Structure 1
Amino acid sequence: MKKTVIFILAMLLVLSSLTQLQTSAADDLTGYVYEKEMRELIELGVLNGYPDGTYQPKRKVTRAEFAKMVVKSFELESQVQSAEFTSAAATEMTFTDVPMDKWYAVPILDAVKAGIVNGYPNDTFKPDALITREQMASMVARAMKAKGIVTDLKEVPQLAFADTALIHNDHKEDVRILTHLGIIKGNENNTFAPKGESERWMVALLMLRGREIVFPPVPKEFQASSIKDGATVVVEEFDTFAEAQKYVAGSSTAQLVERSSQILYMKGEGLAVANKFTEVFPTETLKTDWNTKYRPYVTANAEMKYLGATDKYVKVELAGKVGYVPANTVNLLPKQLLTGQSYYQMTTNGELIHYIYNHNTKAYATAGVIGVAPEAFQAGAKYYSWDGANFTDATGKKVTESHQYFNKLQLATKTNYTAEELDRYLKEAFPYYNRQVHGKVWTESPLVGTGEFFKAVEAEYKVNAFYLLAHALHESQWGTSLIAQDKKNLFGLNAVDGDAYNGAKIYASYKDSIIHAAQHVNGSYQKVTGTNYNGSFLGNKGMGMNVRYASDHLWGEKIAGHMYRADKFLGKKDLYAYNLGITNTPGLNFRNAAGATGADTVLYKTPLAGIPVVILGETTVSGAKWYKVVSEDKAYTEAFAYGAGSLGTYIKLLPLAK
């Protein structure tokens, strides 16, 4: 706490001897007692003036204004992404009183993503209501947690305000922490006034005090630290990362290298959790290799396996592949400091659920049942996987390799369901009857009647109608999203994170949206020579459409989950309808006949290993096994590939969860 004390003393000194800043013209801040503090936040882009040129330091602050100030102060804004598509349902506002065309919609959405705000039980945010002191405390405390600042409550004294009992229980712990850190203070009469309002100058002081802890000056840049009682303790300080890392490597007590309370290096096991959108680069140079189509990215809260680090980058495993991320885009969490971790679990009826942990809010969420649990699973036990197929137990011991059928299904296949059956699912399984979602009470399912469009594009573009339907349900939240309602956009086209509504493309009808999505997905993601081709299956951030389609690293799993639940509802006509294999070598030739040789017989090549194939049959030619498969190149209906023989095994059967 030495740095906090120094800061408070410095603040007192500043307040007693303020000097006026040079300005181009006098305004209502000129000569004001907190002019310096407010201008510092103006320089940072946290505070903005009003259209009449004033800053109104004594104006009271609304919840929307405060959300924007917190997001800007602690650098939690959305980043511009390179994704062509993103999950509109995941990035769209759920508060019924926060229209996406308002100035405060994006900052509030950023605050939701960072785990800073929760809103009220009736799905409102009340953006124009004045922020209370206890609400401010919680939002700032959560923002600091999002930046990796953790306070050990064992070292924090209980609150001693005369009106402590008036502080809502949801905010009491946060008030306690910020009071202990010196970020907030009581009144002269020893009250906190939790329901009291604040003026802009007060908020300026609050933000600056919080920033001093999140981005503090340190005598030496790097610290070698140990872990004790759930917190990090500085053991030694160093001028360079190399010195600190060397010390940790030879130390029996220090396990970490930190900088400004952010962990940069861990000697043991742990997680790298994204704290913002980040590209995953192929090398430690942190430069994109434009010669490869494998250029994944993830958004905040994505868990990656930690493999090593420097002060510039972190080496991670993402969906079974190794990559590098900038050090400031992830929070490193040693195994000893984990409060939770995402895991898979089997239900009592043998189905699989993925419980996803939010490291900011410390809460679990799930999209529901995503498929059949692996045969090796035991009900109630927790299993862990980086790619959704290779599972370990809590000790790290491998349990099984088991893939989800719909996640690995080649999407040039046809569904066994008719347009009428798809419409029946849309009508009977619609989850929002008589519920208010995105500002409307739904008395009918909005997508009923689109079954014929999904089947039509399946026939014309060879894109599985069942997949397209699941994709639309996920992106548009069953057609209830504002983007679906107002713009007939079911797939989130151009709805990039940060400004999903305004960026989303407008269509004349749902039919046009479905056709355009099929055309784009077919040409860019499911074509062997396509710009974003990594296999024409859903997959994850290692392989498949998910590599380049959306920033959500679990997007493919979620779409497959929609397909599984719909298939279960309609009678399980699609699950295991095809036999699936997988290539284990790059550059595999697919030919016009079994046993064919020569360049003129090659229809296409799959550039990558790990591409699933739909096996239609097999035959033996000269002692070698050949597979007849659904063609990955949609110019052809079928193709043949060397499977196994004296030359080796090029295609193996995919172990599916059954």
Structure 2
Amino acid sequence: MKKLLLGFLAVLLALSVFTEETAKAADDLTGHAYEDEIRELMELGIIEGYNDGTIRPNKEVTRAEFAKMVVQSFELGTAAESASIENAVFTAAATAATLNFKDVLPEKWYYNPIAAAVDAGIIKGYPDNTFKPDELINREQMSTMVSRALTAKGIVINVSETQALGFTDTSTIRNEHKDHVRILSHLGIVTGNKDNSFRPKDSSKRWMVAVVMLRARDEVFPPQNLEFQASAVAADKTTVVKHFDTFAQAKEYVQNNTKVQAVERSNQILWMKQGIVTTNAFTEVYPTDSLKPSTSTFRPYVPANTEMKFIDSTATTVKVELAGKVGYVSSKVVRVIPQQMQKGQSYYEVYGSSLVHKIFNHSTGSYASTGIVGKAPKEFVSGMKYYSWDGATFTNASGAKVAESYQYFNMLPLHTETNYTAEELDKYLQDKFPYYNQTVNGKKWTVSPLVGAGKFFKEMEATHKINALYLLSHAIHESQWGTSKIAQDKFNLFGYGAVDGDAYNRAYAYLSFRESIEDAAIRINKGYQSPTGSYYNGSILGNKGIGMNVRYASDAFWGEKIAGHMFRTDQFLGSKDVNQHKLGYTTTSPLNFRKDPSTSFASLYTLKTSEVPVVIHTETTAASGSLWYEVASEDKAYTKAYVHGNYIKMMPVVQ
């Protein structure tokens, strides 16, 4: 790419921006001063033509168009819909966009790109909670978005070490944009106009955006003579030490050299000695490094900014641990972050006697809390941070194991019954409703909309053998206590049909809350809580390794969050449910469950998944002298079943 004298700044993304109106390159680009640059972006799929055959290189760019370009150009990715998901839930990115920008609606073409840009920490919008997608983007705004995108891709510049801006109109740049303009000027991405002005409030045309975009891409994906690099890693940058033809050569060099810590390709870290992995797009985790589905049930999916444990990698795949299970992901959809570059990491801490989870966003550098998720293990000390990949095995900052303690409601088989009545459940819905006298989704709430649904949750518990406390908690989580537009307009409490990118329009409509609750009970029963169900991984909430969370929702902590609702409800109503059942888990698969403590009869049902939690009723000794357990049946056609004691271990639950 030839260097250009005129510069503005910018970020990237497919500027076909409006719907699918794209076509082949047109004659209006031929002979343009920046034809080569625009055609290069067209080859990358970042800029496309219009249906009438034009490219319109001099057309001005809107804020929504530019947000789309940024996400696509930096390959930040967006949440995607998986065909294997029976009912997609809202991603963190989509939720953020919905809450922050009242003028960015799910049905608009720019909803997903803006949501992805928010999730990556690139855009924040205006103080009145608008984004103004149709306004033309000005140059100082573009500079800030490009600078943040570079940060999201791991390119961090200390502004204090750069030269002060020398534009004749520097004083007209808003303070919140000056550092970002200064960083891009330092990198040569923006160079000002011929008269040495910057004109921060001016809009930019497509050819201008192309110039800045290609310069920024050179920082993220720099050209190299050899494909792979062995690099030294510092807190804010990597330094290439040696180039190699193959990944294997570069990896071997790093493994045997204390001065380098990572293998890179085009400024992307592929392998490291120590660190963590975080997703930068919707990601499926596969059972093998071929990244193809298999008969294995372990193929969960997660949204952007999900942390995973790094195990190993190749030039194209990364071997990770997610919720205690090992899998493989494409290196294109994750960031491999060496320990030296980590700005933070998700952790657990004690709050009183309870456990709180703090989740770190590696794009924005900020923490968010899921709230109280259960009881704190007795080994925990106030003020200390504890780390866990599965929510049960905890280590301290030095990596030493501190405790192995599972949260009861997270591991409780959901065919159990709650001890609470419909009236008690309604009392919780009434007393703990968090939005009294607040405006949520365009309505001021003076009453709790779910009050009265207690009898429906209990009805489904009796009819379908699904825990009413769980159903209540699930509904609270998915419908924002019944205040979501889907809940209010369509009586949809569980998000069924609401796919990413078109949640409201695609969501199913019901005639009442009761009908929504019943439909959810039937679907969950059939797909997730029957040993023969398509998505069965144990009838628990679980995580991305076991339970409903493996395939029900993309959020890696969906199960933990709903279990947290159950725990908080139980605490408020008198702690009648917590630790009422003795829990164990299976140690092998396939595993037969029988009608009595013997193998004299055919099995009642077979579990094809290992490590499935079960409710243990009693122990018994068979005529042969061997130990058997009577357990609550996972197949709801039976109330109990028996399993040989060799294949059950007790689950260490937080007491």
- The TM-score normalised by the length of structure 2 is 0.90
Match of 1:616 in 2: 617
Deviations 1:620-640 (A, max 9, x none): 445444332221101111222
Return the alpha-carbon distance in structure 2 between the equivalents of residues 31 and 442 of structure 1: 60
Structure 2 residue corresponding to 1:343, chosen from 342, 347, 350: 347
Deviation of 1:226 (Å): 1.0
Match of 1:15 in 2: none
With over 3 angstroms needed to count, the CA separation of the structure-2 counterparts of 1:125 and 1:331, relative to structure 1, is same
Match of 1:216 in 2: 222
Return the alpha-carbon distance in structure 2 between the equivalents of residues 400 and 39 of structure 1: 57
The within-5 A match list for 1:261-410 is 261-266=267-272, 268-289=273-294, 291-347=295-351, 349-410=352-413
Residues 69-78 or 605-614, more deviating: 69-78
Deviation of 1:36 (Å): 4.0
- 1:258 counterpart = 2:255: no
Deviations 1:184-204 (A, max 9, x none): 233445443434433333223
- 1:657 counterpart = 2:641: no
Deviation of 1:153 (Å): 4.7
Return the alpha-carbon distance in structure 2 between the equivalents of residues 603 and 463 of structure 1: 20
Deviation of 1:57 (Å): 4.1
With over 3 angstroms needed to count, the CA separation of the structure-2 counterparts of 1:502 and 1:139, relative to structure 1, is farther
The within-5 A match list for 1:11-26 is none
- 1:180 counterpart = 2:183: no
Return the alpha-carbon distance in structure 2 between the equivalents of residues 112 and 306 of structure 1: 26
Return the alpha-carbon distance in structure 2 between the equivalents of residues 554 and 576 of structure 1: 21
Deviations 1:559-605 (A, max 9, x none): 11111122222222221222222222323332223x333233x2222
Corresponding letter in the other structure for 1:120: Y
Return the alpha-carbon distance in structure 1 between the equivalents of residues 288 and 38 of structure 2: 42
Deviation of 1:651 (Å): 2.0
Deviation of 1:29 (Å): 4.1
CA contact (8 A) 2:490 2:509 kept: yes
- SS of 2:540's partner is coil
With over 3 angstroms needed to count, the CA separation of the structure-2 counterparts of 1:638 and 1:158, relative to structure 1, is farther
CA contact (8 A) 1:88 1:491 kept: no
- 1:635 counterpart = 2:640: no
Return the alpha-carbon distance in structure 2 between the equivalents of residues 70 and 501 of structure 1: 26
User: Structure 2, unaligned stretches of length 5 or more?
Assistant: 8-22
Residues 327-336 or 90-99, more deviating: 90-99
- The two structures, once aligned, show a CA RMSD in angstroms of 2.5
Return the alpha-carbon distance in structure 2 between the equivalents of residues 436 and 188 of structure 1: 51
CA contact (8 A) 1:83 1:551 kept: no
With over 3 angstroms needed to count, the CA separation of the structure-2 counterparts of 1:630 and 1:108, relative to structure 1, is same
Deviations 1:450-496 (A, max 9, x none): 22222221111111121122112212222222332333322222323
Corresponding letter in the other structure for 1:477: Q
Return the alpha-carbon distance in structure 2 between the equivalents of residues 429 and 385 of structure 1: 30
Match of 1:88 in 2: 90
Deviations 1:382-431 (A, max 9, x none): 00000000000000000010111110000001112222222222232222
Structure 1 residue corresponding to 2:500, chosen from 497, 501, 505: 497
CA contact (8 A) 2:453 2:513 kept: yes
Return the alpha-carbon distance in structure 2 between the equivalents of residues 490 and 229 of structure 1: 45
Deviation of 1:63 (Å): 1.9
Deviation of 1:51 (Å): 7.0
Match of 2:239 in 1: 233
- SS of 1:235's partner is strand
Residues 604-613 or 546-555, more deviating: 604-613
Match of 1:60 in 2: 60
With over 3 angstroms needed to count, the CA separation of the structure-2 counterparts of 1:620 and 1:309, relative to structure 1, is same
Residues 374-383 or 240-249, more deviating: 240-249
Deviation of 1:255 (Å): 1.6
Deviation of 1:46 (Å): 3.5
Deviation of 1:150 (Å): 3.6
With over 3 angstroms needed to count, the CA separation of the structure-2 counterparts of 1:206 and 1:49, relative to structure 1, is same
Match of 2:464 in 1: 461
Deviations 1:108-133 (A, max 9, x none): 12222332222234432222333232
CA contact (8 A) 2:247 2:314 kept: yes
Deviation of 1:96 (Å): 1.7
Return the alpha-carbon distance in structure 2 between the equivalents of residues 34 and 388 of structure 1: 53
Match of 2:475 in 1: 472
- SS of 1:137's partner is helix
CA contact (8 A) 2:26 2:55 kept: no
- The TM-score normalised by the length of structure 1 is 0.90
- SS of 2:104's partner is coil
Return the alpha-carbon distance in structure 2 between the equivalents of residues 39 and 482 of structure 1: 43
Deviation of 1:529 (Å): 1.3
- SS of 2:114's partner is helix
CA contact (8 A) 2:156 2:236 kept: no
CA contact (8 A) 1:225 1:255 kept: yes
Q: Across the two proteins, how many residue pairs are aligned to each other? A: 633
CA contact (8 A) 1:617 1:629 kept: yes
Return the alpha-carbon distance in structure 2 between the equivalents of residues 54 and 443 of structure 1: 54
- SS of 1:549's partner is coil
Return the alpha-carbon distance in structure 2 between the equivalents of residues 64 and 427 of structure 1: 41
With over 3 angstroms needed to count, the CA separation of the structure-2 counterparts of 1:24 and 1:635, relative to structure 1, is closer
User: Structure 1, unaligned stretches of length 5 or more?
Assistant: 1-5, 13-22, 644-648
Match of 1:646 in 2: none
- SS of 1:201's partner is helix
Match of 2:73 in 1: 73
Corresponding letter in the other structure for 2:261: Q
Return the alpha-carbon distance in structure 1 between the equivalents of residues 130 and 442 of structure 2: 10
Deviations 1:492-547 (A, max 9, x none): 22323343334333333322222221111111111111111111101111111111
